C-alpha cells in the first residue's frame, strides 16, 4: 500500500512539475475578457479601452486611437499622413478601407529627376515636394460613417484633451526628436514646437495648442474641418512658402475608398488583408501559399531550413511586387494570376533546398534605414468580436519634416513610395517600375499589411507592424509563429525576426538574436547575411480558445502596450 502511495505521490509531483514547466515556459501578453487594444503608445491604448468601456465598438475605439496617436506619437501617428484599415465584424463581414495619400494634381512622372534624368537627392524624402495629399482624416470619418456607434465628437474628445493638457516624453521619444533637430530647423526656418528647445529630455511636458484647435475643427465639421477652411488654408499656405504643390483643389478632391479585401485560405485559417495600393496583402498571401506548398512540419523556428525557404519565397515575391504592383485605379494588376496556386507552384519550382538563388542583378543601391520605425500599427477587438487592424504612417520619422505651424501637425513624405525612376530604390531599398510611376491623383505603392486571420468561421488573430519593406515579412513570420510554431501571441511578437526582399540580395537578421551555427549554414548555402538592430514592432491580438483575448505589443522593441478589460 505504502509503495502504491509513494508511486502515486511521485506521479503527482511529476505532473505538477510538468505543468509548472509549461506555465514557466509560456509567455503571454495582456489577457482580457471583453476587449483589447494593442498600440505603440500607452495613452492611445488607454483611450481605446476607455471608448470600448463606454460602449463604443472596435471602430469607434479605432478612430479615437488614430487621433490620440496623432498627438501622443507624432513621429508616425498622424492627421497629415494616410493608411489602411482591415475590418472583420462580429457577423463575419470583411472590408478594407484605403486612406492612402495621393499624388497632387500637379505631380508628374519626372518631378524628382534633374535635366539629365537623374534623381535629385532627398527631393522625394524631405521638404514640401515630398508630401502626398493626406488621407487619415477622410479615412477616420469614412470608417466612422459606416461602422461607428458612438457620436464622432465623443471620439475626438480624448485626443483634444491630450493635446491641450500635454504629453510627457519618454526617453526614446526625446532622443528621437533630438535626432531630427537640425532637419526640423532646415525645413521649418520659422520654427515650431519641437524647435523651441535644443535638447529634449525624458519627462519633458509638451502641449500642442494649435493641434488641439485643428482637432476641434475636425470634431465640429468632420472632413471639412481638415480638407476645407482654416486647416486646408494652413496646409496650402505652408506649401506656397516652401515650394510644395498641394492646392485647395487637391484637398477638396481627396476621398478614402472602400476596397474589396483580399481573402485566401492558409491551412485551417483564412487570411484577410489589404489589396492595392498596398502590396502587403498580395505578397503575404503569396508567401503563405509558398510556405504551405513547400515547408516541412518538422522544421524548427528560425532553423536553417525554414529561413532558407522564407528567403527564397521572399526573393520571388518581392520581384513580383517590383514588377506588377501599383495603384489598381491606374494600372492593371494581375492579382488573380499572382495568387493562383499553380502560378505560385511554378514560380517557386526553381527553389533548391541546398543553395541560395542569385537575385537578378540590378543595381539596388544602399538601404538607408532599414531598421527605422516610423509607421505605426494598432489592433483592436471589442467584446462582441468586432475586429480592426490599422496601419498608418507619415512614411519617414515625422514625415517630410514639414510642420503646418497654424494647424500644429506634420505632413507625410509618402511621395517617396512611388518609383521615382525605374530601378532606383526608395528609402527602403525597394525598386519599382512603370506600375508604380508617379501620376496625378495616383496612390503610391505601400508595404503596409494590416491583417486579420480567421480560424474556420471565427476570429483568430489581428496583426500588423511598422517597418517599411520589412512589414510584409514580419507579418508573415508572426502568423507562422502562432500557426506553425505553436507560440503565444506575445512570444510570436517577441521572437527574433529576419528579412529579405529580392534586392538588395541579402538576409537581414537582428543582431545577437540568431544562432551562429544557423548563420554559418545559411552562408554555406550561398546567402549573404547582414545584421540590424530591430525588425518588426508588432501590435497584435489573439483570440484564445476560451474566447478571451491575448493582446501583445512589442515591449522589447518599443514603448508600445496592449491593454484590455
Ligand atoms: O507605405 C509604406 O510601405 C511605407 N510608407 C511605410 C513606411 C514605414 O513603415 C516606415 N517605418 N517603419
Judged on CB neighbours under 10 Å (0-12, 13-18, 19+), 199 is: exposed
Cell (9 digits) for 422 = 525605374
Name the helix (H) or strand (E) containing 490: helix 489-494
Q: Which residues of the chain have pLDDT under 70?
A: 1-24, 360-373
| CA angle, residues 186, 78, 162, in degrees to nearest 5 | 105
Is the CB of 374 inside a 6 Å radius of any atom of ligand 1?
yes
3-state DSSP assignment of residue 480: helix
Catalytic residues: 375
| CA angle, residues 511, 514, 520, in degrees to nearest 5 | 105
Please name each of the domains of the chain with its CATH number: 30-166+207-262+366-564 (3.60.20.40)
Is the CB of 277 inside a 6 Å radius of any atom of ligand 1?
no
| Residue of 378, 152, 136 lying closest to 256 (CA atoms) | 136
Residue-wise pLDDT for 392-435, tens only, equals 999 999 999 999 999 999 999 999 999 999 888 888 888 888 99
Is the CB of 96 inside a 6 Å radius of any atom of ligand 1?
no
* Atom of ligand 1 lying closest to residue 279 CA: 3
* Atom of ligand 1 lying closest to residue 280 CA: 3
Task: Identify whether the C-beta of residue 319 lies closer than 8 Å to the C-beta of residue 502.
Answer: yes
Measured in Å, residue 473 CA sits from the centre of ligand 1 at 13
Torsion region of 129: left, alpha or beta (phi above 0 gives left; psi -120 to 50 gives alpha): alpha
Report the pLDDT value the prediction gives residue 12, as an integer from 0 to 100: 37
Residues β-bridged to residue 258: 97
- Maximum alpha-carbon separation in the chain: 96
Report the pLDDT value the prediction gives residue 454, as an integer from 0 to 100: 98
Task: Identify whether the C-beta of residue 246 lies closer than 8 Å to the C-beta of residue 235.
Answer: yes
Measured in Å, residue 266 CA sits from the centre of ligand 1 at 26
Report the pLDDT value the prediction gives residue 139, as an integer from 0 to 100: 99
Residue-wise pLDDT for 449-481, tens only, equals 999 999 999 999 999 999 999 999 999 999 999
For residues 69 and 236, give the distance between their C-alpha atoms in angstroms, rounded to a whole number. 24
* Atom of ligand 1 lying closest to residue 416 CA: 5
Report the pLDDT value the prediction gives residue 360, as an integer from 0 to 100: 61
Which of 397, 413, 471, 535 has the most ligand 1 atoms within 8 A of CB, as the residue to mutate?
Answer: 471
Is the CB of 395 inside a 6 Å radius of any atom of ligand 1?
yes
Tell me the binding residues: 100, 393-395, 417, 446-447, 468
Which of 375, 396, 426 has the most ligand 1 atoms within 8 A of CB, as the residue to mutate?
Answer: 375
Is the CB of 534 inside a 6 Å radius of any atom of ligand 1?
no
Residues 6+ apart with CB under 8 A from 332: none
Name the helix (H) or strand (E) containing 319: helix 304-324
Is the CB of 417 inside a 6 Å radius of any atom of ligand 1?
yes
For residues 268 and 26, give the distance between their C-alpha atoms in angstroms, rounded to a whole number. 23
CA distances (Å), 499 to each of 87, 243, 299, 477, in order? 27, 37, 18, 9
Which of 281, 468, 472, 508 has the most ligand 1 atoms within 8 A of CB, as the residue to mutate?
Answer: 468
Amino acid at each position: 500500500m505504502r509503495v502504491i502511495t509513494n508511486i502515486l505521490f511521485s506521479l503527482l509531483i511529476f505532473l505538477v512539475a510538468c505543468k509548472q514547466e509549461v506555465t514557466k515556459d509560456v509567455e503571454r501578453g495582456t489577457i482580457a475578457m471583453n476587449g483589447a487594444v494593442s498600440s505603440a503608445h500607452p495613452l492611445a491604448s488607454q483611450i481605446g479601452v476607455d471608448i470600448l468601456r463606454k460602449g463604443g465598438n472596435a471602430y469607434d475605439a479605432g478612430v479615437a486611437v488614430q487621433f490620440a496617436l496623432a498627438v501622443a506619437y507624432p513621429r508616425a501617428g498622424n492627421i497629415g499622413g494616410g493608411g489602411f484599415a482591415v475590418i472583420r465584424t462580429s457577423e463575419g463581414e470583411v472590408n478594407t478601407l484605403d486612406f492612402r495619400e495621393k499624388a497632387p494634381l500637379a505631380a508628374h512622372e519626372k518631378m524628382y529627376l534633374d535635366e539629365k534624368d537623374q534623381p535629385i537627392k532627398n527631393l522625394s524624402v524631405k521638404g514640401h515636394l515630398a508630401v502626398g495629399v493626406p488621407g487619415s482624416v477622410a479615412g477616420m470619418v469614412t470608417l466612422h460613417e459606416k461602422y461607428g456607434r458612438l457620436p464622432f465628437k465623443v471620439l475626438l474628445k480624448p485626443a483634444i484633451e491630450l493635446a491641450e493638457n500635454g504629453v510627457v516624453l519618454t526617453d526614446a521619444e526625446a532622443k528621437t526628436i533630438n535626432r531630427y533637430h537640425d532637419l526640423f530647423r532646415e525645413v521649418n526656418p520659422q520654427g515650431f514646437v519641437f524647435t523651441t528647445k535644443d535638447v529634449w529630455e525624458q519627462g519633458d511636458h509638451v502641449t500642442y495648442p494649435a493641434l488641439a484647435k485643428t482637432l476641434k475643427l475636425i470634431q465640429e465639421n468632420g472632413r471639412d474641418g481638415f480638407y476645407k477652411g482654416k486647416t486646408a488654408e494652413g496646409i496650402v499656405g505652408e506649401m506656397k512658402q516652401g515650394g510644395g504643390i498641394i492646392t485647395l483643389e487637391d484637398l477638396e478632391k481627396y476621398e478614402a475608398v472602400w476596397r474589396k479585401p483580399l481573402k485566401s485560405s492558409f491551412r485551417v485559417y483564412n487570411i484577410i488583408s489589404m489589396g492595392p495600393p498596398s502590396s502587403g496583402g498580395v505578397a503575404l498571401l503569396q508567401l503563405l501559399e509558398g510556405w504551405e506548398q513547400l515547408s516541412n512540419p518538422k522544421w524548427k523556428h528560425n532553423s536553417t531550413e525554414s529561413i532558407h525557404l522564407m528567403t527564397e519565397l521572399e526573393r520571388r515575391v518581392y520581384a513580383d511586387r517590383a514588377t506588377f504592383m501599383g495603384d489598381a485605379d491606374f494600372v492593371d494588376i494581375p492579382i488573380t494570376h499572382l495568387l493562383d496556386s499553380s502560378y505560385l507552384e511554378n514560380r517557386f519550382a526553381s527553389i533548391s533546398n541546398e543553395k541560395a538563388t542569385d537575385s537578378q542583378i540590378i543595381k539596388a543601391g544602399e538601404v538607408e534605414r532599414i531598421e527605422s520605425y516610423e509607421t505605426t500599427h494598432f489592433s483592436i477587438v471589442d467584446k462582441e468580436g468586432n475586429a480592426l487592424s490599422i496601419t498608418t504612417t507619415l512614411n519617414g520619422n515625422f514625415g517630410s519634416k514639414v510642420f503646418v505651424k497654424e494647424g500644429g501637425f506634420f505632413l507625410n513624405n509618402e511621395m517617396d513610395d512611388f518609383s521615382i525612376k525605374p530601378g532606383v530604390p526608395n528609402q527602403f531599398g525597394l525598386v519599382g517600375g512603370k506600375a508604380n510611376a508617379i501620376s496625378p491623383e495616383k496612390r503610391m505603392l505601400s508595404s503596409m499589411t494590416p491583417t486579420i486571420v480567421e480560424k474556420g468561421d471565427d476570429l483568430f488573430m489581428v496583426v500588423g507592424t511598422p517597418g517599411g519593406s520589412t512589414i510584409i515579412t514580419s507579418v508573415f513570420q508572426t502568423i507562422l509563429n502562432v500557426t506553425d510554431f505553436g507560440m503565444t501571441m506575445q512570444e510570436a511578437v517577441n521572437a527574433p525576426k529576419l528579412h529579405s526582399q529580392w534586392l538588395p540580395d541579402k538576409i537581414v537578421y537582428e543582431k545577437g538574436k540568431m544562432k551562429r551555427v544557423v548563420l554559418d549554414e545559411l552562408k554555406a548555402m550561398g546567402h549573404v547575411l547582414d545584421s540590424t538592430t530591430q525588425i518588426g514592432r508588432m501590435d497584435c491580438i489573439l483570440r484564445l480558445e476560451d474566447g478571451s483575448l491575448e493582446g501583445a505589443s512589442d515591449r522589447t522593441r518599443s514603448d508600445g502596450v496592449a491593454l484590455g478589460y
